[in-house]
Each structure stands twice: as structure tokens, then as C-alpha cells.
Amino acid sequence: MKAEEKKYFLANWKMYLNRENTLSLANFFVKEKKDDPSLEVGLFPSSLYTLEIKNIVSNSQISLGVQNGFWVDFGGYTGELSMKMIRESGCDIVLVGHSERRRIFEETDEEVNKKMLAALEADLTPVLCVGETESERSELKTEEVVERQLRLALADLPPNKKIFVAYEPVWAIGTGKDCSPEEAKGVHSLIARVCKEVLPESNFIFLYGGSVNSKNIEEHLADLNVHGVLVGSASIKEDEVKNMFEAMQKAKM
């Protein structure tokens, strides 16, 4: 039995959907989530649609988040959204250090740390993403990379906060390649150990992400150190969402 009794489903819609499809999918999530109190759902749509989606999810206990935020509150930073602004627009959660941000936008571990600090300061719950690339994996550096990312991201954070940590092997994201639960197991336990050591008073919720779908979700949730999933491409398909929610209800936690 895990200490955390709830199951978490976070949906990262990346830049996949236009406005019409985003709003329709948000309505679908509200309908499918029903009033199951053991299932916690969070959506990360494009931030352009945040205010409209806020209205859709307002009575559903679905959390709303953005996929990226900046650490300075206000100023001349063309194109950025500050964590304070994100909070003000009614969001509760924010993705930090997603591998697409690290890889395509060259975000560093130090910047990830600044974003973590700013998110908590703004009263947002961060969803920190960590994970190794294909080449780091083949060089057997997975644990070293994940531990480094984790320690740098968590450095100097205030105690007693709620923080999500998602293990997302980069080679499994958006590729359809599933990281087997056996392979992920060691990394999940490393993450749980390091988090407890660095911030013993904090409330950590651990997720797995990387080509999660209705076929493999149950086996990922079976890990003792996994409380939920962060899902990209399967989270924009209505039939997959329905099946994943059903699988989550069955999953032994």
C-alpha cells in the first residue's frame, strides 16, 4: 500500500491542438473524470486557452496548469509568462524542466532551479521532469544524470511544499518506445530516496511519463514509488483517455 492514496493523471497537450479541439477535449475530461475523488487530474493546454478552460473545469476539481513559466515576475522579457501571472490567471500547476524545453530551448539545470523557486514562491505546484537521453542511457549514465538533475533542481527550495517529480526517459517521450517498469523501477526508487534526503518535510508525488497509453498504464502504476502518470500524445485521444481512466480505477496502488 502506498502512502499516497490518490492516483494522478496529468495531461500535457504540448502544441498539439487548436482552440476548438482544446476546448472540446477539456469538456471531455470533465465528463470522464466524473466525481471520482481518488483520481486527481491536471491539464496542461496551450496557455493561450487557459482562461476559457478555467471556465470549463471550474466545478470539476480538475487542476489547470501551463507548460512553462519564467522566473522573473515582471519586466522586459518578450514572450515570457511569469509564475505570478500564471497563478493570477487561475492555474495551480506548472511543468518545469520538461525534456523538450531542455533539448529544444536549451534550458539548463540552473534555470530549472530558478523556475522551481519562482513557482513555489508564486504558490504554484511545480511538476519537475527529469530523465536521461538515449545516449546517456546507452552509456549507462541514467542514474547519474537523473540524480544530478534532481539535486540541482531541488537546491535551496523551501521546505513543506507539494512537489511533483516525473521520471520521463527522454528516449521514451513521443516515440512510442515504452520504458519497461523493470527498467524504470531503479530510477523511481533513486528519485524517492534523493527527494526524501534533500527535502524530508516536503510532500512529493512521483509520476512516470513517456509513451504512456491504455495498454501500459497499469503496469507503470504498479511501482511502489509511482503515484501517477504524465501523458502526452495518448492524452489527446478521447478513446485512450477513457480507457486509461478505466485502467487507473483497476490499478492496484
Catalytic residues: 98, 168
Q: What single-letter DSSP state applies at residue 169? A: -
Q: From the list 43, 56, 231, 244, which residue makes contact with ligand PGA (rule: CB under 6 A)?
A: 231
Instruction: Assess contact for 127 and 160: CB atoms under 8 A.
Output: no
Q: Give the contact letters, 78-117, x = binds to ligand PGA (CB under 6 A), - = no.
A: ----------------------------------------
What is the C-alpha separation between 166 and 160, in angstroms, rounded? 19
Residue closer to ligand PGA by CB (options 150, 234) is: 234
Does 216 interact with ligand PGA (rule: CB under 6 A)?
Answer: no
Helix (H, G, I), strand (E, B) or coil at 57: helix
Does 132 interact with ligand PGA (rule: CB under 6 A)?
Answer: no
User: Which residue intervals of the chain are DSSP H helices?
Assistant: 19-33, 50-57, 83-88, 99-104, 109-121, 134-138, 142-154, 181-198, 217-221, 238-250
Does 237 interact with ligand PGA (rule: CB under 6 A)?
Answer: no
What is the C-alpha separation between 64 and 109, in angstroms, rounded? 25
Does 212 interact with ligand PGA (rule: CB under 6 A)?
Answer: yes
Stretch that binds ligand PGA, among 118-126, 150-158, 186-194, 225-233 (CB under 6 A): 225-233
Instruction: State the number of binding residues for ligand PGA (CB under 6 A).
Output: 13
Stretch that binds ligand PGA, among 20-28, 75-83, 135-143, 227-235 (CB under 6 A): 227-235
What is the C-alpha separation between 63 and 122, in angstroms, rounded? 16
What is the C-alpha separation between 52 and 74, in angstroms, rounded? 23
Q: Give the contact letters, 154-193, x = binds to ligand PGA (CB under 6 A), - = no.
A: --------------x----xx-------------------
What is the C-alpha separation between 38 and 197, in angstroms, rounded? 28
Does 230 interact with ligand PGA (rule: CB under 6 A)?
Answer: yes
Q: Nearest-CB residue to ligand PGA? A: 232
Q: From the list 233, 240, 241, 248, which residue makes contact with ligand PGA (rule: CB under 6 A)?
A: 233
CB 175 to ligand PGA: min, Å? 7
Residue closer to ligand PGA by CB (options 193, 215) is: 215
Q: What's the grid cell of residue 191?
A: 528519485
Contacts (Cβ under 8 Å, ≥6 apart) of 176: 211
Cα distances from 21 to residues 90, 122, 139, 237, in angstroms, run 21, 30, 41, 11
Does 232 interact with ligand PGA (rule: CB under 6 A)?
Answer: yes
Q: In the complex, which residues of this chain contact ligand PGA (CB under 6 A)? A: 12, 168, 173-174, 209-212, 230-234
